[in-house]
C-alpha cells in the first residue's frame, strides 16, 4: 500500500503526503526472547502488513533488563518517522517509578499506536510436585517461608508484583527467581531447579503434555483448554492480571503516520489467521485505538506510581 496525496487527500503534512510510507522495512523491537504467543501473533500480523504495504516488519529481540531495552532504544535513539516501533507493555509504564533516576516519562516519551491483547498468566508446578492445588502451594509457603521458589520474566514485572501481592494476602513467602523470559523459567522447572513458574503461558505445551500441573490462571474467566484450573477470582482474590500490551513508537510521531499504522495493524489483527492464533492461545481481547491506548497509559501510570510507592518497590 502506498500513501500519496491522491490516496489520502486529508493529509496535513506535505512531506508525509508527498512521500511513500512505508518506503522501506520497519524495524520492530521485542524486549523478550523469541517464542510463545506474543511472537506468533506479532509475526502473523506483520505478514499481513507486508502483504498490504509491500514492506516487511523486521523483528529484533532485545531480551533482558526486565523487558525495558526496547523502550530505552526508542527514547534514546528512535526517530519518530514510523520506521522504528516496539512492543509496549506495563513494565515500561511502571519503570520510572522504580528508580530515583527515571529514564523516561511513561506517557510523554512514547507515541501510543495500538493496544493488541494481554498475557495469559498462570502458576504451574511439575506434575510430580506434592502441591496438587494452589492452596497446597500457599500452605507450604506459609510453613516454610522463603524455601519454595518461583520464576517470572524479571524483577518488578507485572506478574512478579501480582505474585507478591498474592503471597502478601496469604501471609506466605516464596523466593523469587527472575529470568529474561518465561521460557527460561519453564526450562528451570523441567530441570527441577525451582518449585513453580508464575508467568505467561510458555508452560502451555508442558501442561497439555502432562509434565506440568496448572494450579491457577490469572485471566478473568477460566480457559477452555484448562477448565479445571481456577482463576484468581475463583480462589477469592477478586482480581485478574493480563498485563495488556501493544505497539508504540518514539515520541513526536506525525498523527498521519500513527493513523496509517493503526489502520494497517488493526486489519492485520483482525485477519483470520491472527484471530486463529488468538483463539489457539486463548488470548484476551484488549484492543484499543491510539487515543484510548494513550488514555489507558495515563490512568495506568497513576496506578503504577501508587502501587510502587505503597509496596516500596525499587530497582536502585
Mean pLDDT of 124-137: 98
Domain boundary among 217, 235, 255: 217
Q: Does 230 reside within a domain?
A: no
Question: Given this model, what pLDDT does residue 313 score?
Answer: 84
Q: Does 296 reside within a domain?
A: yes
273 pLDDT exceeds 90?
yes
Number of H helices, E strands in the chain: 11, 11
Number of domains in the chain: 2
**CATH number (domain holding residue 189):** 3.40.190.10
Of the two residues 262 and 33, the one the predictor is more confident about is: 262
pTM for this one? 0.82
Of the two residues 56 and 310, the one the predictor is more confident about is: 56
3 pLDDT exceeds 70?
no
Listed ranges 60-69, 119-128, 149-158; the one with the highest mean pLDDT: 119-128
Residues 78 and 130 in one domain: no
Question: Given this model, what pLDDT does residue 5 score?
Answer: 32
Residues 6 or more apart in contact with residue 113 via CB below 8 angstroms: 85, 246, 247, 248, 249, 253, 258, 261, 262, 265, 290, 293
Question: Given this model, what pLDDT does residue 10 score?
Answer: 37
Counting residues of the chain whose pLDDT is more than 90, the rounded percentage is 81
**CATH number (domain holding residue 80):** 3.40.190.150
302 pLDDT exceeds 80?
yes
Residues 48 and 74 in one domain: yes
Amino acid at each position: 500500500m502506498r500513501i500519496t496525496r491522491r490516496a489520502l487527500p486529508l493529509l496535513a503534512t506535505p512531506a508525509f503526503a508527498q512521500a511513500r510510507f512505508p518506503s522501506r522495512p520497519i524495524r520492530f523491537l521485542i524486549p523478550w526472547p523469541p517464542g510463545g504467543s506474543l511472537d506468533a501473533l506479532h509475526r502473523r500480523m506483520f505478514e499481513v502488513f507486508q502483504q498490504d504495504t509491500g514492506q516487511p516488519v523486521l523483528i529484533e529481540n532485545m531480551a533482558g533488563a526486565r523487558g525495558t531495552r526496547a523502550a530505552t532504544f526508542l527514547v534514546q535513539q528512535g526517530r519518530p518517522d514510523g520506521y522504528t516501533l516496539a512492543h509496549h507493555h506495563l513494565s515500561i509504564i511502571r519503570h520510572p517509578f522504580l528508580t530515583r533516576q527515571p529514564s523516561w516519562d511513561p506517557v510523554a516519551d512514547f507515541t501510543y499506536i495500538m493496544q493488541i491483547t494481554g498475557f495469559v498468566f498462570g502458576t504451574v508446578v511439575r506434575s510430580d510436585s506434592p502441591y496438587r492445588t494452589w492452596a497446597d502451594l500457599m500452605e507450604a509457603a506459609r510453613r516454610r517461608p522463603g524455601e519454595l521458589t518461583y520464576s517470572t520474566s524479571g524483577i518488578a514485572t507485572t506478574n512478579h508484583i501480582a505474585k507478591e501481592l498474592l503471597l502478601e494476602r496469604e501471609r506466605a513467602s516464596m523466593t523469587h527467581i527472575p529470568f529474561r523470559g518465561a521460557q527460561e523459567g519453564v526450562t528451570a522447572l523441567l530441570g527441577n531447579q525451582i518449585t513453580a513458574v508464575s508467568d505467561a503461558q510458555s508452560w502451555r505445551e508442558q501442561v497439555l503434555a502432562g509434565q506440568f500441573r496448572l494450579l491457577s490462571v490469572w485471566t478473568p474467566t477460566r480457559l477452555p483448554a484448562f477448565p479445571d484450573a481456577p482463576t484468581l477470582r475463583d480462589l477469592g482474590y477478586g482480581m485478574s492480571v493480563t498485563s495488556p500490551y501493544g505497539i508504540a513508537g518514539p515520541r513526536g510521531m506525525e498523527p498521519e503516520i500513527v493513523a496509517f499504522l493503526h489502520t494497517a495493524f488493526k486489519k492485520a489483527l483482525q485477519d483470520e489467521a491472527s484471530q486463529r492464533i488468538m483463539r489457539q492461545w486463548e488470548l484476551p481481547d484488549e484492543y484499543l485505538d491510539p487515543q484510548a491506548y494513550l488514555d489507558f497509559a495515563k490512568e495506568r501510570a497513576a496506578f503504577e506510581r501508587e502501587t510502587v510507592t505503597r509496596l516500596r518497590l525499587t530497582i536502585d
